[in-house]
């Protein structure tokens, strides 16, 4: 199994980054062995479509699960189409804490986008 989490820095002990498309780093983790790799988020500086770019990275990594603080409509649709489960951090503060809560079944699974079109800072909506 492979999970990907958004983080503020390239370390498994990093603080979580609540933004999926514009989170600074994507941490790829095997939750069983805790082997991990950090990658700069390809969508972080995108002028639009950041969520889709991040979702494509998750898909390319053949991840089973994405964990973040929110999933906008385009990212949600792309991840759902790829069969990737999405979970919210909730009150987790670090990536390692989120991994432990995920393994314990304590994170909320996402069944719909968690941010709407009017959320400030969400780009790529419309034409």
Give the largest CA-CA distance in the chain: 43
* Residue pair 57/39 in contact by the 8 Å Cβ criterion: yes
Q: What is the DSSP letter of 41?
A: -
d(CA 68, CA 98): 9
Read off the pTM: 0.89
Q: Over the chain, what is the mean pLDDT? A: 90
- How many helices and strands in the chain, by DSSP H and E? 3, 6
Q: What is the DSSP letter of 14?
A: S
Asked whether the predicted pLDDT for residue 39 surpasses 60, the reply is yes
Q: What is the pLDDT of residue 83?
A: 98
Kindly indicate the confidence band of residue 125, based on its pLDDT and cuts at 50, 70 and 90: very low
- The domain defined by 3-109 folds into Nucleotidyltransferase; domain 5 (3.30.420)
Task: Identify the weakest region by mean pLDDT among 47-51, 76-80, 110-114.
Answer: 47-51
């Amino acid at each position: 199994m492979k999970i990907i989490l958004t983080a503020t820095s390239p370390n498994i002990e990093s603080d979580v980054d609540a933004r999926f498309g514009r989170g600074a780093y994507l941490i790829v983790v095997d939750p069983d062995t805790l082997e991990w790799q950090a990658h700069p988020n390809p969508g972080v500086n995108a002028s639009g479509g950041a969520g889709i770019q991040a979702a494509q990275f998750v898909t390319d990594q053949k991840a089973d699960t994405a964990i973040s603080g929110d999933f906008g409509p385009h990212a949600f649709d792309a991840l759902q189409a790829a069969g990737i489960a999405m979970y919210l951090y909730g009150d987790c503060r670090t990536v390692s804490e989120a991994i432990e809560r995920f393994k314990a079944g304590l994170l909320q699974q996402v069944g719909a986008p968690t941010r709407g079109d009017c959320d400030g800072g969400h780009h790529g909506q419309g034409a």
